[in-house]
């Protein structure tokens, strides 16, 4: 047996016997490695290697090391939990490193972990760090490991081992604590000292709600104190952008939890923003050849039986009845659009037929999932259904992708794209699903979008492409969705006439770009931290007369700009100038026009931005032209000299 390893910054070495990265590093005089990258996989330094490959060493300061030390931190936490609650009372689930931190799932027999306990656990973790325990990697024959786990009553670990294919499994041991684990881990528990436990929550074993619920502790860890503090501060800062906080504070919406949990009441300000969003969307949809519809909110239950919602979506629907007739409040707009489609004969010449609607839908959502206006029970979709021939599918999907890119670029945020395939609970043949999935893939590739695949996450009627946007706390939310559907046209038996006079079934593409206006609005609030671009700002300009004798002039400005459809208000409150400026700035009004004696004399306005910058005086006409242009262009930036 002989194999070669190419070590970065050294050269190629030949070995006859299995060797660990640690031993290689020692031989070559590299010190203090915490992990090794071997053929692009992060390895524990104690893992014996016996094959050709390329290796580079990972040191504590390297970015790749975070995964390793956070994983070790999860073990330290588990060790602390066991010390506190007693070995016989703790059953371990899984404990991986995640983005920015780590977690571990526990079952505490006849007990529970509360937020208060986190301090206690942190204290014990600090002890373990102080003890600087040596971490050992142990290989064990699977049968023996199963026996051991049975003896220790570690039912979850047992399940994990039974699902491992190899004959040998690995454990990591630090002091009295041993855990089934693939690794990699640090050489000892004393290397990373700065950590914080963040929260405790429930998590189903293996993510399945039929399984028991374990308790999950989330934490984070960093090499130096500053990084930890910066991270904790960034969480605090992000919380200030939270739309649930900013929305009511900026008077955009309220949620009345007593009378309508999971429903948003948009105030005048919020409605203004939504109207602007809809206006923008309508313009683009018209340009892209969509026809706007309005369809009923309440339709017969029978309709929903035909559509398949009754069989696959009933749990999420609201029902009502009158005169012994049962009705459903629509959870989707598709059946309504199909009724319009069916209302007259369709020729191949009419296709693709793009029906668009700002459709208000209601879906029952379990109480625990509601979240501000990101996840509600009633929302408005910028929904459309494209009816087309099978040949037109790819082009139509690409059209939607382009429209999506166009809309996103207006706001300037990043997104990720996912393709979701056939779920367990689905309608129709697998062959149809495969064809549809291929069409979506092909469109994605032609559009040059990189994407990840979510197996089994599609809608019940077809596979879909989703665009996700990050919220202020790093959670991803689905906005745009493009779903292919070969099934609903069949169930409703809709057809078009082909050139040869035959009746053929169209393909249906369900798509929404904002997704839900509520969610998109919420994302915007967080993205701009409430300081919307001027075209979206509920109030675009405030005029502040310095003293009563300036009110008349201020009113003139107000009336003039208002006549130009600029959203302007006058602040003639009997308060000091400083007080009003502070108040208007907190409300994030893009421009404040201050008028006093000087301005009246020169027919100017003094301009102050919501960032507190004094832009000096300007002729009213010049200001008017600039802001009008800024609004017309729906500019992300101000045209008056600084970032909007």
Partner RNA sequence: GCCAGCGUAGCUCAAUCGGCAGAGCGGCGCAUUCGUAAUGCGUAGGUUGGGGGUUCGAGUCCCUUCGCUGGCUCCA
Q: CB-wise, 118 or 158, nearer to RNA? A: 118
Q: Does 141 bind RNA (CB under 7 A)?
A: no
- Greatest Cα-to-Cα distance within the chain, rounded to the nearest angstrom: 97
Q: CB-wise, 183 or 378, nearer to RNA? A: 378
**Distance set, CA 322 to CA 141, 308, 557 (Å):** 68, 23, 55
Q: CB-wise, 188 or 585, nearer to RNA? A: 585
Q: Note if 464 is an active site residue.
A: yes
Residue 414: CA atoms inside 13 Å, Cβ hemisphere, count? 8
Q: CB-wise, 34 or 524, nearer to RNA? A: 524
Judged by DSSP in three states, 480 sits in strand
Selected binder of RNA within 6, 39, 132, 576 (CB under 7 A): 576
Q: Does 236 bind RNA (CB under 7 A)?
A: no
Catalytic: which of 91, 510, 567, 588?
510
Selected binder of RNA within 4, 240, 582, 603 (CB under 7 A): 582
Q: Note if 633 is an active site residue.
A: no
Q: Does 366 bind RNA (CB under 7 A)?
A: yes
**Nearest approach, Cβ of 58 to RNA (angstroms)?**
27
Selected binder of RNA within 466, 571, 624, 630 (CB under 7 A): 466
**Nearest approach, Cβ of 332 to RNA (angstroms)?**
8
Q: CB-wise, 13 or 449, nearer to RNA? A: 449
Local structure of residue 133 (DSSP, 8 states): P
Q: Note if 256 is an active site residue.
A: no
Selected binder of RNA within 365, 405, 410, 497 (CB under 7 A): 365
Q: Note if 510 is an active site residue.
A: yes
Residue recorded with tokens 């009502």:
320
Q: Note if 519 is an active site residue.
A: no
CA–CA separation, 267 and 253 (whole Å): 5
Site for RNA in 605-624 (CB under 7 A): 606, 608, 612, 614, 617
Pairing of strands 194-204, 213-222: antiparallel
Catalytic: which of 79, 174, 334, 580?
334
Q: Does 515 bind RNA (CB under 7 A)?
A: yes
Q: CB-wise, 324 or 424, nearer to RNA? A: 424
Site for RNA in 298-357 (CB under 7 A): none
Residue from 552, 477, 25, 524 nearest 270 by CA: 524
Q: Does 238 bind RNA (CB under 7 A)?
A: no
**Nearest approach, Cβ of 503 to RNA (angstroms)?**
30
208 Cβ contact list (under 8 Å, min separation 6): none
Report the 10 Å Cβ neighbour count for 159.
14
Q: Note if 344 is an active site residue.
A: no
Q: Note if 558 is an active site residue.
A: no
- Determine the interface stretch with RNA among 20-28, 65-73, 529-537, 590-598 (rule: CB under 7 A): 590-598
Bridge partners (DSSP) of residue 5 are 13, 53
**Nearest approach, Cβ of 539 to RNA (angstroms)?**
16
CA–CA separation, 604 and 543 (whole Å): 12
CA–CA separation, 21 and 27 (whole Å): 10
Does 184 sit behind a cis peptide bond, omega within 30 degrees of 0 on the bond before it? yes
- Determine the interface stretch with RNA among 54-62, 145-153, 159-167, 358-366 (rule: CB under 7 A): 358-366
Report the 10 Å Cβ neighbour count for 385.
27
Catalytic: which of 385, 588, 608, 610?
385
Q: Does 569 bind RNA (CB under 7 A)?
A: no
| Phi and psi at residue 483, to the nearest 5° | -125, 130
Selected binder of RNA within 199, 302, 347, 625 (CB under 7 A): 199
Residue from 257, 258, 227 nearest 244 by CA: 257
Catalytic: which of 91, 216, 426, 464?
464
SS (H, E, C) 600-613: HHHCEEEEEECCCC
SS (H, E, C) 440-463: HHHHHHHCCCCCEEECCCCECCEC
Site for RNA in 50-89 (CB under 7 A): none
Q: Does 375 bind RNA (CB under 7 A)?
A: yes
87 Cβ contact list (under 8 Å, min separation 6): 152
Selected binder of RNA within 31, 344, 349, 574 (CB under 7 A): 574
- Determine the interface stretch with RNA among 52-60, 139-147, 344-352, 544-552 (rule: CB under 7 A): 544-552
- Environment class of residue 320 by beta-carbon count within 10 Å: exposed (0-12), middle (13-18) or buried (19+)? exposed
What are the structure tokens assigned to 328, written together? 């459903």
Site for RNA in 96-115 (CB under 7 A): 112-115
Site for RNA in 474-503 (CB under 7 A): 475, 477-479, 481
- What burial letters (b/e) apply to 253-281, b meaning 16+ CB within 10 Å? bebeeeeeebbbebbebbebbbebbeebb
Catalytic: which of 154, 174, 381, 392?
381
- Determine the interface stretch with RNA among 44-52, 193-201, 297-305, 635-643 (rule: CB under 7 A): 193-201
Distance of CA 151 to the CA centre of its chain: 42
Q: CB-wise, 173 or 245, nearer to RNA? A: 245
Residue count, binding to RNA (CB under 7 A): 81
Selected binder of RNA within 379, 496, 521, 528 (CB under 7 A): 379
Q: CB-wise, 112 or 603, nearer to RNA? A: 112
Catalytic residue numbers, as ranges:
334, 363, 381, 383, 385, 464, 510
């Amino acid at each position: 047996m002989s194999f070669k390893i190419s070590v970065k910054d050294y050269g190629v070495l030949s070995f006859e016997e299995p060797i660990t990265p640690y031993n290689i590093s020692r031989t070559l005089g590299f010190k203090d490695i915490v992990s090794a990258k071997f053929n692009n996989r992060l390895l524990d330094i104690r893992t014996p290697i016996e094959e050709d490959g390329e290796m580079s060493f990972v040191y504590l300061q390297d970015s790749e090391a975070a995964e390793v030390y956070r994983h070790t931190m999860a073990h330290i936490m588990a060790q602390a939990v066991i010390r506190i609650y007693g070995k016989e009372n703790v059953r371990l689930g899984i404990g991986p490193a995640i983005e920015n931190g780590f977690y571990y799932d526990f079952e505490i027999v006849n007990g529970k972990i509360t937020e208060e306990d986190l301090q206690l656990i942190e204290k014990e973790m600090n002890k373990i760090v102080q003890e600087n325990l040596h971490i050992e990697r142990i290989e064990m024959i699977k049968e023996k490991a199963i026996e051991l786990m049975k003896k220790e009553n570690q039912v979850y670990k047992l399940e994990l081992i039974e699902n491992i294919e190899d004959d040998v499994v690995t454990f990591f041991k630090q002091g009295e604590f041993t855990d089934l684990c693939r690794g990699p881990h640090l050489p000892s528990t004393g290397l990373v000292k700065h950590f914080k436990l963040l929260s405790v929550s429930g998590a189903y074993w293996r993510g399945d709600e039929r399984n028991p619920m374990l308790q999950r502790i989330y934490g984070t860890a960093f090499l130096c104190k500053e990084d930890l503090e910066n991270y904790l501060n960034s969480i605090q800062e992000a919380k200030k952008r939270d739309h649930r906080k900013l929305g009511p504070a900026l008077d955009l919406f309220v949620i009345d939890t007593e009378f309508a949990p999971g429903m948003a009441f948009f105030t005048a300000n919020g409605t203004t923003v939504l109207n602007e969003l809809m206006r923008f969307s309508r313009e683009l949809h018209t340009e892209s050849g969509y026809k706007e519809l309005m369809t009923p909110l309440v339709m017969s239950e029978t309709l929903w039986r035909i559509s398949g919602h009754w069989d696959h979506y009933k749990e999420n629907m609201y029902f009502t009845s009158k005169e012994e007739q049962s009705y459903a409040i629509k959870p989707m707009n598709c059946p309504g659009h199909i009724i319009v489609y069916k209302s007259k004969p369709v020729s191949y010449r009419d296709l693709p037929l793009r029906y668009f609607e700002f459709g208000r839908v209601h879906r029952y959502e379990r109480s625990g999932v509601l979240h501000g206006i990101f996840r509600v029970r009633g929302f408005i979709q910028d929904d459309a259904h494209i009816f087309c021939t099978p040949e037109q599918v790819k082009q139509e999907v690409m059209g939607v992708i382009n429209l999506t890119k166009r809309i996103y670029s207006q706001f300037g945020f990043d997104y990720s794209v996912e393709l979701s395939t056939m779920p367990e609970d689905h309608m129709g043949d697998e062959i149809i699903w495969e064809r549809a999935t291929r069409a979506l893939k092909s469109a994605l590739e032609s559009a040059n979008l990189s994407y990840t695949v979510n197996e089994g996450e599609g809608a019940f009627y077809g596979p879909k492409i989703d665009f996700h946007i990050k919220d202020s706390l790093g959670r991803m939310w689905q906005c745009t969705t493009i779903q292919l559907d070969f099934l609903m046209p069949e169930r409703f038996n809709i057809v078009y006439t082909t050139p040869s006079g035959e009746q053929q079934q169209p393909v249906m593409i369900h798509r929404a770009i904002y997704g839900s206006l509520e969610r998109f609005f919420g994302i915007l609030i967080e993205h701009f931290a409430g300081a919307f671009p001027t075209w979206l700002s509920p109030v675009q300009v405030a005029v502040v007369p310095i003293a009563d004798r300036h009110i008349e002039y201020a009113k003139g400005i107000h009336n003039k700009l208002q006549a130009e459809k600029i959203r302007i208000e006058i602040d003639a409150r009997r308060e000091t100038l400083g007080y009003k400026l502070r108040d208007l700035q907190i409300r994030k009004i893009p421009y404040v026009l201050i008028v006093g004696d000087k301005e009246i004399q020169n027919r100017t306005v003094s301009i102050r931005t919501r960032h507190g910058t004094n832009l000096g005086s300007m002729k009213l006409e010049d200001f008017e032209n600039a802001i009008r242009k800024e609004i017309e262009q729906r500019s992300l930036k101000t045209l008056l000299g600084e970032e909007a």
